[in-house]
Structure 1
Amino acid sequence: MELRHMKYFVEVVNLKSMTKAASKLFITQPTISNTIKLLEDELDVTLFHRFKNQIYLTDAGEAFFFQCKEMLKMYDNIPNDLSNLLEMKSGHLKIGIPTIINIRKLINLISQFHESYPNVTFQLFENGSKKIENDVYYGDLDMGITVLPTDTKIFSTFSFLEESLKLVVHKNHKLADKHMIDIEDLVNEEFILFNSDFYLNDKIINICRNHGFNPNVIFETTQWSFIGEMLLNNMGVCVLPEGILELLDSDLTAIDINEASMKWELALIWRKDTIVDSLTKNWIKFIQENVLLND
């Protein structure tokens, strides 16, 4: 079945006449008749009823007519759709973001981008950095935000944020009145952590071990809301990045930690060895320019 055969068929239906369709298309009527017969044989259906020199669509003909119109419309839109993609006017981006970050700035950037390119759509996937890196590697995400360091043999990176990590406790916790604590002050504390999909989990456990103890982890999760509720019930302590502190309930307090390695650096990552399309390139450029502009 060829595209021109569908065009012939649609023209016959629109004009309700093979003769008129042949005239409009500048072809012979036998060509039209043979095309209709060819389509009927290929589809193994009857497309038209014929009665007193008139033609009427069968049920199968109605269904085929609808499909032909849709396919021809899609074909006609190909040049415009490709132009929009090449000029970054349309497309879809899948971005992985850690559950643990304050996404207000990212949402603001997406909003600005959307104003200029309303036909570009986004999907945000919240996960731990390890899962995000894995999904970017296997192509399930176009890009992601992760904690550095990462494997620069695999990923291109754009570092955009470095933050201190703070101890967060309930205002009635015994450490709440301190302005700064040492890691050793946490030996007997119960820890609430993000799970092992998060590099922050590894970081906190390793820092504690470097200071001579294994943290007593009573709860692990992927959800910030669960951690927040447990802290509000004074069920333990948690280490969180500075940027998320503005989202904390007023009954929670943040304390500085006297440890040089208690910080993290975030970066946008994407695969090095794949062809990056125009939309992704321009989104990365937009992020780079606006993050630097707003610093």
Structure 2
Amino acid sequence: MDIKHLKCFVTVAEYLSFTKASEILHITQPTISKMVKTLEDELCKTLFHRSPKIELTDVGKVLFKQAKEILILFDNIESELEDVIAIKKGIIKIGIPPIIGASFFPKIIGEFKRKYPYIDIQMVEVGSKKIERLVDEGTLDIGIVCTAPIQKDTLNMFPFVKSPLMLIVNPNHKLNKKEIVKYKDLKDESIVLYGKDFSLYDVITNRCIENNFYPKIVCESSQRDFIVEMVAEGIGVSFLDEKTYSKINTKSITALKLEAPSIYLHLFVIWKKNRYISFAAKEWLKFVSLKFNINLEI
């Protein structure tokens, strides 16, 4: 039994087709059949029922599960060896929500690049929900999300920033006279908000529903700067965390405190569990955790 035999078996088991496995692996169908038969002979067990259609036997199902894990481990070994050869080089694909991108990360990225000039960072700006999905699928190496991820069983995470959410309004808005804004004050207000792919959409909507009304969302956008401009033009009110607001150099909007209990923009770093982490991604995780005094073992 070797890796080639296991890879052959797993491919047949995934598609329940010797023909399809032959096409994917670029191996003749007789060779595929012979390799599977060799496995069956070594194990003294039948792995497939072959008529009237191909199905895994109970033994085949057990081997299929274990073989997939073995192949993942083997791929990880190959990837780690490649990293050793390409010392301190690599690419990291990181997803960040637009609400926090420009406020938190340029300085961190700059410091990281000075330490690792040969590591390239590809930033993808999308909502937290999509980031979580892309990390879980393996499209992104690392994600920054605004709330704890739902897929906790498949994702590693650590929190690193917590900032209270504030209401932002045009300086001439009637709510600007209030020291603290209650959510019921927003019942008849037009609200400009991030789209449904953003966790903040659910957070705000749920808080409004808790106060017995549904928010009047007049515009959705994925871009923070656009939302700020819409508020500045008096199109509606919106929400921004305190740290981000403090870094925006504008007098065209005002930030107001919201009633307790406060909603916090709580940022989490997430990455896939039980998946090989490249040298570049590992160094990024270490760098960020040290930056925010977080004890992280990878």
Structure 1 unaligned spans of 5+: 1-79
| Counterpart for residue 218 of structure 2 | 218
| Counterpart for residue 135 of structure 2 | 136
Q: How does 1:23-42 map to 2 (within 5 A)?
A: none
| Counterpart for residue 203 of structure 1 | 203
Matched, 1:286 2:287: yes
Indicate the SS of the match to 1:264. Answer: strand
CA distance in 1 between partners of 2:154 and 2:147 (Å): 13
CA distance in 2 between partners of 1:130 and 1:82 (Å): 30
> In 2, are the aligned partners of 1:101 and 1:243 still within 8 Å (CA)?
no
Letter in 2 for 1:159: P
- Tell me the matched-pair count: 212
CA distance in 2 between partners of 1:118 and 1:81 (Å): 19
% of aligned pairs identical? 33
| Counterpart for residue 61 of structure 1 | none
Q: Which 4+ residue blocks in structure 1 deviate beyond 4 angstroms?
A: none
| Counterpart for residue 276 of structure 1 | 277
CA distance in 1 between partners of 2:249 and 2:185 (Å): 23
Letter in 2 for 1:249: T
CA distance in 1 between partners of 2:277 and 2:198 (Å): 27
Letter in 1 for 2:91: H
Return the offset for 1:287: 0.8
Larger radius of gyration: 1
> In 2, are the aligned partners of 1:84 and 1:90 still within 8 Å (CA)?
no
Return the offset for 1:104: 4.1
Indicate the SS of the match to 1:292. Answer: coil
What are the superposed Cα offsets for residues 196-254 of structure 1, whole Å, 9 maximum, x if unpaired? Answer: 00000010010000010011111111111221221111111101111220215212100
| Counterpart for residue 227 of structure 2 | 227
Matched, 1:257 2:273: no
Q: 1:240 to 1:248 in 2, by over 3 A?
A: farther
**TM-score, with length taken from structure 1:** 0.68
Indicate the SS of the match to 2:292. Answer: helix
CA distance in 2 between partners of 1:164 and 1:292 (Å): 20
Letter in 2 for 1:140: T
Indicate the SS of the match to 1:176. Answer: helix
**TM-score, with length taken from structure 2:** 0.68
RMSD: 1.8
Q: 1:105 to 1:217 in 2, by over 3 A?
A: closer
